[in-house]
Amino acid sequence: MNEGKYAMKPLLFGAAIALLLGACATTTSPTGRRQVVGGISPQQLDQLGAQAFAETKAKQTLSRDARQNAYVQCVVNALVAELPQQYRGVRWETALFVEKEPNAFALPGGKVGVNSGIFTVAKNQDQLAAVIGHEIGHVISRHHEERLTRQQGTQLGLGIIGALAGAAYGDTAASAVNQFGGMGAQGLILLPGSRTQESEADVVGQRLMAQAGFDPAQAVDLWQNMMAAGGGRPPQWLSTHPDPTNRIRELQRDVAVLEPVYRQARQSGRTPRCG
């Protein structure tokens, strides 16, 4: 009986490989990093972004502060004006939420959400641009698509391995593979990838803010403010974000490179006055 099950192994592996290769494509990120994408179409990705944004707006309290809303929108508009054409043509929607946690996000399809608590650490328009530029950096670097593609591949791989374990050793073994395999995938595949994406979004966002006429040195000040405001945090190897000290060091490193970009933007008339 088991011989038939074992004979299915090459077929299962072959099917898994064919599915993975058929769904994925290789591209290059804005920093030159190799990416595997294609697990979801751009249209589906934009729809997911719009759906997530709508759900967030339905659950969270929207700010009615006209001045703060205009402030955030001004920063978003200045950054979007410097994006590649495919993203400039999108109608970007911005929402300011009444939420103490200093946070922000951007989603495919041109969606930006900002918590009012961000103003406790982003002390001026340049620091706010560092936050929003970082989040938009995730979008234009196709990080959401990359993450979804990776997760699809991980789940498919675990399903195939679980099926093989079940065929050879029974349902208990299959359950164990799926449970512990999932933990390993999260710790060793998904989280390190997220740290890579966070570092890349720092690079892309800091360049974007300089191109838009915001001072790139203020990205360093922002993260120093973040560190001062934050309490305990998980160790770097178990975090989806880079170590704050390393993050500040890398942002500081790039300031000298981006200063000419910033000066050129100002000389060309890109001088945001958002507040």
Sign of CA dihedral 229, 232, 235, 241: negative
Place of tokens 């103003």: 119
| Predicted confidence (pLDDT) per residue in 164-211, tens digit | 334 443 444 444 334 444 444 333 323 334 788 888 999 999 999 999
Q: Is 37 domain-assigned? A: yes
**pLDDT category, 233, cuts 50, 70, 90?**
low
On whether residue 231 sits in a domain, the answer given is yes
65 belongs to a structural domain: yes
In the prediction, which pLDDT does 110 show? 95
In a domain, 117, yes or no: yes
Asked whether residue 19 is domain-assigned, the answer is no
The pLDDT score that the predictor gives to residue 18 is: 46
Average pLDDT rounded to a whole number, residues 245-268 = 94
pLDDT tens digit sequence for 29-82? 787 788 767 777 888 888 888 888 999 999 999 999 999 999 999 999 999 999
Domains held by the chain: number: 1
> What pTM, to 2 d.p., does this model score?
0.76
- Per residue in 238-251, pLDDT (tens digit) is 456 677 788 889 99
Q: Which domain holds residue 184?
A: 26-267
- Looking at residue 239, its pLDDT comes to 57
Residue 10 lies in a domain: no
- Over residues 86-96, the pLDDT tens digits come to 898 889 999 99
Higher per-residue pLDDT: 17 or 271: 271
Residue 260 has pLDDT above 70, yes or no: yes
Distance, in Å, from the CA atom of 174 to the CA atom of 161, rounded to the nearest integer, reads 8
Quick: pLDDT tens for 115-128. Answer: 999 999 999 999 99
Active-site residue flag, 99: no
| Residue 17 forms part of a structural domain | no
Residue of 82, 135, 145, 198 marked catalytic: 135
Q: Residue 231: what pLDDT?
A: 61
- Residue-wise pLDDT tens digits, 121-165: 999 999 999 999 999 999 999 888 888 787 765 454 434 334 433
What is the average pLDDT score of the chain? 78
Q: Establish if 11 belongs to a structural domain.
A: no
